[in-house]
Structure 1
Amino acid sequence: MNVIYQFTFILVIFCLTSFTTKDEETKLVAKKIVTHSKYQEVTIKKSTFGITPEGEKIDSYKLKNQNGMEVDIITYGGIITDLKVPNKKGISENVVIGFKTLEEYLQPNPYVGAIIGRYANRIANGKFSLDGKEYQLTLNRPPHSLHGGEKGFNRVVWKAVEVKSGKKASLRLSYLSKDLEEGYPGNLQVCVTYTLTNENQLEVLYEATTDKETIVNLTQHSYFNLSGDFSNTILEHEVVLQSDKIVSINENGIPTGEFEWVANTPFDFRTAKKIGKEIGVKNEQLERGNGYDHCWVLNNSERGKTIVAKAYDKVSGRLLEVTTDEPGIQLYTGNFLKGNLPMRTSGFYEHRTGFCFETQHFPDSPNQSNFPTTVLIPGKKYKTKTTFTFSVN
């Protein structure tokens, strides 16, 4: 009887031990799955950035992936305040111009990091006609209107919604631009969605609808410096633009209505060339833009799927590639940075310490019959996407 009892006792202990071991193994496997899932997840973290003089709370959202890429966006102006990406040594550094405080963003600045609208770029004399009616816009760059007027989308507070989906995380910003705001007709409901992926891509999706015929042209106005060191200029950056022509401008930066071939000019970036190589040569278009501040007419090869622009910094190894379904891209080389905007730490952003890749329709399109239309009518949706992809080389 004792033998049977001992055997039974041993059998029970064995079974309990086996059950516990399997349970622990199950827990370990589950833990690995959860850990792996967390490792793959792109996260969003919300914090308070400041309070406007009108008492509106401005939030900041940090989107972060598994590869050391982070992007910080505030609800004031939809501004990208920070964008950190790794260099060839794996060190993540900020690569966009930005300020430390909301108060600094509230001061006059050249659209640093902001969403631009209703109309990116210039409209001649701030006037255009729709359906036989002429509209007068705010002349914030007399005698012309620039980037949406005195209080464009870069100066409004956007509503934010977080959208999480594992390997992607999005921040969906929305704003209602009311009829005749800055002179533009129609109540325009705008949505801009920033999405960060684990492939080190920052996608920017623009959407809009209207209740009255209007014009729309949205873009993003971040100033990049891929070196991660803003005491350096961007003149050593190598740029490629898939474009055979530029939109020619007059002495006021307004399109002449003509396209100029880039071949045998300083505007030829069809193969990699340093920004600084020809920026100072004698050229009428360069003089009118005080450097590069022009819209390149993008070639039509599978627009939206092929890379239309690249920028590369040899020292850091960082490579930026841009895809877009827009017909143009404005390369702006920080020609009007004057050393009066404060850096995050110490010092100031000097001349040409940042460049912009502004994907968009052409400037002054409402007044240029041979340019692609920017008209939006009720019942139709404005929708366009630009993707910024970062890697090292």
Structure 2
Amino acid sequence: MSATLASVAPLSLICAMSFMSQGAQAADYARASFGKLADGRAVEAVTLRNAKGVRAAVINYGAALQSLVMPDRDGKLADVTLGYASLDGYLAKPEYFGATVGRFANRLADGKFTLDGKVYQTPRNNNGQALHGGERGFDKVLWEVVEVKRGDTASVRMRYVSKDGDQGYPGTLTVFATYSLNESNELRIEYTATTDRPTIANITNHAYWNLAGEGAAVGAMGHILTIPAEHYTPVNDKLIPTGELQPVADTVFDFRKPQPIGARVRAARDPQIVYGKGYDHNFMIARDVAKEPRLVARVEEPTTGRGFELLSNQPALQFYSGNFLDGSVIGKSGRLYRQGDALVLEPQLPPDVPNQPKFGSARLEPGATYRNVLVYRLFVNGARAH
């Protein structure tokens, strides 16, 4: 694995970051209303901002990244994540935009898993399978804002308590989601969870990225993607892993060297692309959860120079190329979101791992802490000196 990671050029050789200074010289935050739920509960937006023009807005409905604003190589600011301008969109047509997904992110075959000899059934909300925790996963609940901070790093910490039996899962799971932004232009998302009885946990973020700008006329298929993974897990026509571990070499899944996403996203000669209508597959970065975040992906949009390196402690990465965006959603800028308008990168445990233990374990015991750390190192390639 060290050889694979070493094949990716160091950040100092990839970009020259020089974001334009705006405002205060320390990371700060602002709080504002983001509407109300039908039962009258208030939804809040917390905007984290640093002195270099980066702003990340987080709403406590779904603990979701509602926007991420960053400059391009000419200092022009744009929101680079898809989503809605108001709460109404998140309620009317949920698409997991920027959301925290769980208890079990990705898919469970037939919505079932077995724990200590007992079979548990969760809602089958995606083609007969369970997806992202069920009909009312973590993306569709109101989280409690428990702490906000400013200083060298601005952060917001949120909590949600998923009760025993919620969506069919055993145990009361207490989950924290912490978003933080520092002056090094790093957006960090950390998920932790504890339980009062054995259960499973797999929690991640589902941000849709278009680094040209979420309202840009150009989609994300021109983005240059690197994934330092030697293997991926093929799927069946229900998008459930078959149990195989296939090398990426000589396939359309080889992103070990930078590749435009659109170059092979419609390569129908590969049945895997047909099943997913593009990329919707898990890449194996490692076999175990790491103590510290490691590189799992790098993305750059060549026209604007915007990009990020994504690090996580998780062993797997789901790459989804926005295949099911169908033009029925009107985004923040008033434009329709269409197929290929964004990409999603989800560090996590492998899909369906409770039913395929050879790929790892999602089991969480009382007294233990589940932890997923995502770090987005934002950069601008070819930035002007300031």
The verdict on a shared fold, with TM-score over 0.5 as the criterion, is yes
Deviation at 1:39, TM superposition (A): 3.2
Matched, 1:223 2:208: yes
Q: After TM superposition, what 4+ stretches of structure 1 lie above 6 angstroms from structure 2?
A: none
Please give the per-residue CA displacement for 1:347-380, whole angstroms capped at 9, x wherever unaligned: 3111111110111000000000201101001111
Aligned to 1:257: 243
Matched, 1:335 2:323: yes
State which of 131, 153, 167 in structure 1 corresponds to 2:138.
153
Structure 1: give runs of 5+ residues left out of the alignment.
Answer: 1-35
Any stretches of 5+ residues in structure 2 without a counterpart?
1-20, 382-386
Whether the 8 Å CA contact 1:40–1:166 is kept in 2: the answer is no
Seq. identity, %: 37
Establish whether residue 274 from structure 1 lines up as the match of residue 260 from structure 2. yes
Q: Secondary structure in 2 aligned to 1:276? A: helix
Letter in 1 for 2:280: D
What secondary structure sits across from 2:24 in the alignment?
Answer: helix
Output the TM-score relative to the length of structure 1.
0.88
Answering whether residue 297 of structure 2 is matched by residue 290 of structure 1, we say no
Q: Following TM superposition, by how much is the alpha carbon of 1:156 offset from its aligned partner in structure 2, in angstroms?
A: 0.2
Structure of greater relative contact order (alpha carbons < 8 Å, 6+ residues apart): 2
Match for residue 160 of structure 2? 175
SS at match of 1:252: coil
Counterpart check, 1:232 vs 2:242: no
Alignment counterpart, residue 72 of structure 2, candidates 73, 87, 101: 87
Q: 1:379 to 1:300 in 2, by over 3 A?
A: closer
Q: Return the structure number with greater helix share.
A: 1
> How many matched pairs?
357
1:108 and 1:39 mapped to 2: Cα distance?
Answer: 37
**Counterpart in the other structure of 1:53:** 38
Q: Is 1:382 aligned to residue 367 of structure 2?
A: no
**Which amino acid is 1:164 matched to?**
K
Amino acid at match of 1:58: V
RMSD: 1.6
Alpha-carbon distance, 1:110 to partner: 2.1
Matched, 1:392 2:380: yes
Deviation, structure 1 residue 140: 1.1
User: Per-residue CA shift, 1:36-95, capped at 9, x if unaligned?
Assistant: 9x8331111111010111111001111010000001111100111110011001122100
TM-score by length of 2: 0.90
- The aligned amino acid for 2:203 is L
Give the stretch that moved more between structures: 106-115 or 252-261. Answer: 106-115
Kindly provide the amino acid, as one letter, of the partner of residue 207 in structure 1. T
Distance 2:63 2:340 in 1: 23
2:103 counterpart of 1:118: yes
Distance 1:175 1:250 in 2: 33
State the match for 2:314 in structure 1.
Answer: 326
Does structure 2 conserve the Cα–Cα contact (< 8 Å) formed by 1:242 and 1:299?
A: no
Whole-Å separation in 2 of the counterparts to 1:330 and 1:295: 4
The 8 Å contact of residues 294 and 313 in structure 2, kept in 1 or not, is answered as no
Q: Could you tell me how far apart the structure 1 residues matched to 2:149 and 2:378 are?
A: 21
Distance in 2, matches of 1:347 and 1:387, equals: 29
The aligned residue for residue 313 of structure 1 is: 301
